[in-house]
Amino acid sequence: MSAHAEISSEPIAPADLPLIEQVLAELRPMIHADGGELQLVEAHGDTVVVRLGGKCMGCIQSGETLGGIRRRLMHTLGKAVRVIPAREE
């Protein structure tokens, strides 16, 4: 997909889940290198919920990390998505 390609507003479909997992798997080594952890919790509508762990928890850069994940997912899926952290209970 080029930088000028259209981004769809279609919701995330079950067929998108393998692509989402693939993107997270590609990003995981960079996050591990900084002592962090990344896990997909769920994806529905226009939202991908991830769990950031390890040194990512409470890190001031976690917002940048979520933004990077969002950009990569939008590029790969061609859909507008939100990436939010899972609520810790």
Residue 38 vs residues 7, 26, 89: alpha-carbon distances, Å = 25, 11, 17
Report yes or no on 49 lying in a domain. yes
Q: Residue 2 has what pLDDT?
A: 46
Question: Considering the domain boundaries, does residue 9 fall inside one?
Answer: no
pLDDT reported for residue 6: 80
Q: What is the pLDDT of residues 55-67, one digit of tens each?
A: 988 888 999 999 9
Q: What is the CATH number of the domain that holds 39?
A: 3.30.300.130
Query: Is 5 contained in some domain?
Result: no
* SS3 assignment, position 52: strand
Question: Number of structural domains, the chain?
Answer: 1
Q: Is the pTM of this model over 0.85?
A: yes
What digits encode the pLDDT tens for the residues 31-89? 999 999 999 999 999 999 999 999 988 888 999 999 999 999 999 999 999 999 998 76
Look at residue 12 and tell me whether its pLDDT is greater than 50. Answer: yes
Q: Are 50 and 85 in contact (CB under 8 A)?
A: yes
